[in-house]
Amino acid sequence: MILDEEALSRSQNLEYSSGTITVLIPFVCFRCGKCCRKLSVGLAPFDIHRIAEFLRLNIKDFIIKYLGEITSEEDGEMRYKLTKPSKPCPFLSYSNMCTVYEVRPLACRSFPLETDFGDSGIGCQGYKQVKKVMNALGQGVPYFVGTSSKNKPIQSQWKRIYKKFLRAEPSDEMKQAFIRINNIPMELIV
Ligand code: SF4
Ligand code: SF4
């Protein structure tokens, strides 16, 4: 099984470099389920293996149940034709929960910060919030976590940065996540 462990373990946060410093911007999902209802998720081979295993189905049964018709099977490799509807996602529950969350596809883990099409115009609130925070922090460049070479703020800079961050009117969950992932001492921002 081909498994992109590095991609699977990547966090859904961004590093944002503005001027000489870098801060982390968290992605907070509003759990609205829009992406799971409106977008078709492509499954890589390792996604199929992981989800089938999670659901205790063999690959053939998984493909027939969720993807379509098997068109050929040679040397253990199955080819299939997609005939099943992919929207809304069959793994989305009535209460907007992902029923395969632990093994959700790489495309779902990457959405929307690491997809080159952004949120595909579906109006993801979490994506909007990240963009608002980037604007509030000032002109800068977003990076995947761990790839920017710029410095983290020193303690005396946090008050000013946090004030700018608040201009984006972040949700309480976003505020808590921002403080937590950047390890901002509470006494510096109250
Ligand atoms: S559209 Fe955005 S906020 Fe809504 S469930 Fe998807 S990722 Fe979360
Ligand atoms: S696998 Fe889960 S996260 Fe991905 S689209 Fe389906 S319900 Fe949403």
Q: What is the pLDDT of residues 9-37, one digit of tens each?
A: 455 889 999 888 999 999 999 989 999 99
The pTM for the full model equals 0.86
Ligand 2 centroid to Cα of residue 88, in Å, is 9
Neighbour tally for 115: CB within 10 Å: 14
Six-digit token string for 65: 């149940």
Q: What DSSP character marks residue 63? A: I
What's the confidence (pLDDT) of residue 85?
Answer: 92
pLDDT above 50 for 41: yes
Asked whether 41 and 105 are in contact (CB, 8 A), the reply is: yes
User: Would you state the pLDDT for residue 11?
Assistant: 57
pLDDT confidence band for 188 (50 / 70 / 90): confident
Ligand 2 mean position, distance from CA 26 (Å) = 20
Considering every ligand atom, which ligand is closest to the CA of 92? 2
Q: Residue 159 has which token pair?
A: 């008050």
Cβ atoms of 24 and 128 closer than 8 Å:
no
Q: Tell me what the mean pLDDT of segment 113-135 comes to.
A: 92
Q: What is the pLDDT of residue 1?
A: 32
DSSP state of 120: T
State what percent of residues in the chain have pLDDT above 90.
Answer: 72
Q: Which of 29, 104, 114 to mutate to test the pocket of ligand 1 (most atoms within 8 A of CB)?
A: 29
Measured CA to CA, the distance from residue 176 to residue 52 in angstroms comes to: 35
190's CB contacts (< 8 A; 6+ apart) are none
